[in-house]
């Protein structure tokens, strides 16, 4: 297809060299972009199921309680995702307090990180700090 340019009222074809080439990006399936050891709780029931799995598992886990309206949560979430790639033996969970209102009633600050080992909560961290989070994950692993 040839683009047509207008020059003083007449329509002239634009040479192919000057035409913009737009390449369609191949869309990858959503599953390919997700980390294997990261889950998102989308409702109270899904968070209850995830917590039951954590409590019955021997694997360590961290839950990030945040909110879509929380600026600090939005800033720390990419680091949380990146850390999930570095600590493959730890299960990472994100729970939005607005999507899981019944099961997150005791969460008073966002973000709040809870750390589990052998099914028991062993640590809790309030607020941001990628380095602090990394250190706690290193201790947990």
Q: Report the distance separating Cα 100 and Cα 95, nearest Å.
A: 7
For the cut 80, the answer to whether the pLDDT of residue 48 exceeds it is yes
pTM equals 0.74
100 in active site:
no
Catalytic residue among 63, 67, 70, 107: 70
Q: Report the distance separating Cα 82 and Cα 132, nearest Å.
A: 14
73 in active site:
yes
pLDDT digits over 20-44, tens only?
443 433 333 343 345 678 999 999 9
> Residue 55's CB: how many other CB atoms inside 10 A?
13
Catalytic residue among 62, 73, 90, 97: 73
Pick the more confident residue, 86 or 11: 86
């Amino acid at each position: 297809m040839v683009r047509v340019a207008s020059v003083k009222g007449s329509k002239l074809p634009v040479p192919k060299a000057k035409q913009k080439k737009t390449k369609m990006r191949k869309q990858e399936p959503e599953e390919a972009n997700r980390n294997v050891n990261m889950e998102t709780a989308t409702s109270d029931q899904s968070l209850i199921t995830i917590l039951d799995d954590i409590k019955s598992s021997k694997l360590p886990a961290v839950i990030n309680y945040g909110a879509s309206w929380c600026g600090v949560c939005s800033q720390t979430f990419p680091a949380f995702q990146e850390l999930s790639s570095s600590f493959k033996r730890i299960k990472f969970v994100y729970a939005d307090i607005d999507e899981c209102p019944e099961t997150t009633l005791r969460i008073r600050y966002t973000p709040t990180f809870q750390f589990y080992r052998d099914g028991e909560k062993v640590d809790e961290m309030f607020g941001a700090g990628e380095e602090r989070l990394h250190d706690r994950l290193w201790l947990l692993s």
